[in-house]
Chains A and B, each alone.
Chain A
């Protein structure tokens, strides 16, 4: 008798938990060959709201963690991802098609990118901060600090690499994030959330939703608790709409290219300048 496969339920990742959508909805995703693959949760605006609440409550703890500690935790995420390499690879292969070689390369690049950003955690304020020249008996320092809660609409095509390229620079600097995964290729994002849940990342720092970008993104852009947005995964028509909605609370909205850069970290940071008397 042949064994019956144990099928996986693909769920959301909110506040360190794996709930189904509160709406109870799911949607169908198909592979590169047009065959059915899975029924992940179709997140609703209330799931988005809960994610933002979770991200906001995780913010004080995560942003207060030392940069060195954040770097260690991000490196640990890379370690866990390494152990799940095969799972990432088979998901990418099924969803994106292409060769096995290309799939492994994407996974390896994604893991290396985590490590690269992990290394940046305790260096970014050194290169972007400054001791400012002033005419007076004071020191004057500028240091970059986290912006707050950042909404991320991940790149749609490269389902793992695009995701990591967007997430890692945001949380490395002490922000917390709500991510809308690639709409048609969400499985690597769900697997990544399982890696995150078993690393030392505090609950709520990263929240991952699967569902329709066109449904969720406007609620994200108009949410007053969200301080910045990465709209790299949107078309330009939706981006315009999001920029209009986001203007209400002066949200920082950015679209990035493919090249990893410390600029991606600085895009969601704020400069704080303090005066300190000399000799005290």
Chain B
């Protein structure tokens, strides 16, 4: 493995400065062009099943209850209870305090293979003291979370305190160690430019992220195609430089099968087919799963299905 920075803020700043700027017009154009790819019949059916396995089934509401968690756990294991050929989802993503009950419910429904992801470090704003963020993460890990979705301090990043952001990610990574995968949420909707998205992606990867994630889902715009494209380029280039394969999670605003398939096309074309795997690409969503199921039913039966045939979440 090649070390790109020695951990000091100075070396980090110097390294991030060497990154070329993003051609905004080019990125928008390329993303728009790839969105016109037509994925039909057998490719479509493969893509739908792959997308289902990549879904991080998410419920992040103030009104979440144990009952709601029970329902989504059952859905995570068998998304369509009338058709057991539908694969399980990639993970279930909840707030910290619901990790334990999520783990129990998944295990009880035969979903012990499905990881529980917890959002930590004062999600979604990231505005809390450092000890609170550490404790937040510890709680999730102790309750059995095997994936940690942390947010970066966007305020610090935007005001140039790169060392602070780097150290936070590094400390959380040390806490996760071998117990959990670390996903770092960049909240690209607040980063303003694509250059910042590229910088933040590298910053997170250098600090030890296993995944870089677009957004919390609480801010719009979220996972737009050009942003995902910039992040996929970053993980691809990072892999070439270091040999480490980092994953990408697109979250927020992906509601239809069409949107999801567009994301898969981006993954295949930008990062490459090696990333077309739930281990390296995830889609954070809640409503998307129903649309994937409806489209799957349509392919199987030959006629359009309706919202009465999937669960109300």
A interface residues with partner B (beta carbon < 8 Å): 49, 52, 56, 219, 222-226, 245, 248-249
Contact = CB atoms under 8 A, between A and B. Distances in A.
9 contacts: A52-B304, A219-B303, A219-B304, A224-B303, A224-B304, A224-B305, A225-B306, A225-B307, A226-B306
B308 interface: yes
A251 B303 CA distance: 14
A222 B303 contact: yes
Contacts of B309: 224
Nearest to A223: B304
A33 to B, nearest CB: 40
A23 to B, nearest CB: 13
A interface majority secondary structure: helix
Given A224-B306, A225-B304, 19 more contacts: A49-B304, A52-B304, A56-B306, A56-B307, A219-B303, A222-B303, A222-B304, A223-B303, A223-B304, A224-B303, A224-B304, A224-B305, A224-B308, A225-B305, A225-B306, A225-B308, A226-B306, A248-B303, A249-B306
Contacts of B308: 224-225
A225 B303 CA distance: 10
A138 to B, nearest CB: 30
Output the residue of A49, A52, A224, A225 with the most chain B CB within 10 A: A224
A265 to B, nearest CB: 23
B21 to A, nearest CB: 37
Contacts of B307: 56, 225
Contacts of A222: 302-304
Contacts of A226: 306
A49 B305 CA distance: 10
A24 B178 CA distance: 55
List the 4 closest pairs (A to B, CB-CB), nearest first.
A225-B306, A222-B303, A224-B306, A223-B304
Nearest to B297: A224
Interface in B90-123: none
A56 B307 CA distance: 9
A48 B305 CA distance: 13
A249 B309 CA distance: 11
A248 B303 CA distance: 10
Contacts of A249: 306
Contacts of B306: 56, 223-226, 249
Nearest to A245: B303
A177 to B, nearest CB: 16
A59 to B, nearest CB: 10
B300 to A, nearest CB: 13
Contacts of B303: 219, 222-224, 245, 248
Nearest to B303: A222
A146 to B, nearest CB: 15
A219 B302 CA distance: 10
A56 B305 CA distance: 13
Nearest to B304: A223
Output the residue of B305, B306, B307, B309 with the most chain A CB within 10 A: B306
Nearest to B302: A222
A224 B309 CA distance: 9
Nearest to A249: B306
A248 B309 CA distance: 13
Contacts of B305: 224-225
Contacts of A56: 306-307
Nearest to B309: A224
B305 to A, nearest CB: 5
A222 B303 CA distance: 6
Output the residue of A49, A223, A226, A245 with the most chain B CB within 10 A: A223
Interface in B264-311: 302-309
A224 B218 CA distance: 33
B304 to A, nearest CB: 4
